[in-house]
Structure 1
Amino acid sequence: MTRATLRYVLHRITEHPDTDVTFEAECLWCDWQATPSTDTAAVDVECMSHTGRSGHKSFRRLRTSFAMVVRAE
Structure 2
Amino acid sequence: MSPRTLIRSVTHRITQHPDADVTYEAECLSCKWATQPSTDLEAVDVECMSHAGRSNHRGFRRVVTGFAFVVRDGE
Q: TM-score, normalised to structure 2's length? A: 0.92
| 1:11 maps to amino acid | H
1:60 Cα deviation from its structure 2 partner: 0.4
Gaps of 5+ in 2: none
* Bigger Rg, which one: 2
Equivalent residue number for residue 20 of structure 1: 21
Gaps of 5+ in 1: none
Cα distance between partner residues in 2 of 1:7 and 1:28 = 49
Q: List 4+ stretches of structure 1 deviating above 4 A.
A: none
Give RMSD over aligned pairs: 0.8
Q: TM-score, normalised to structure 1's length? A: 0.95
| Mapped pair 1:33 → 2:18 | no
The count of aligned residue pairs is 73
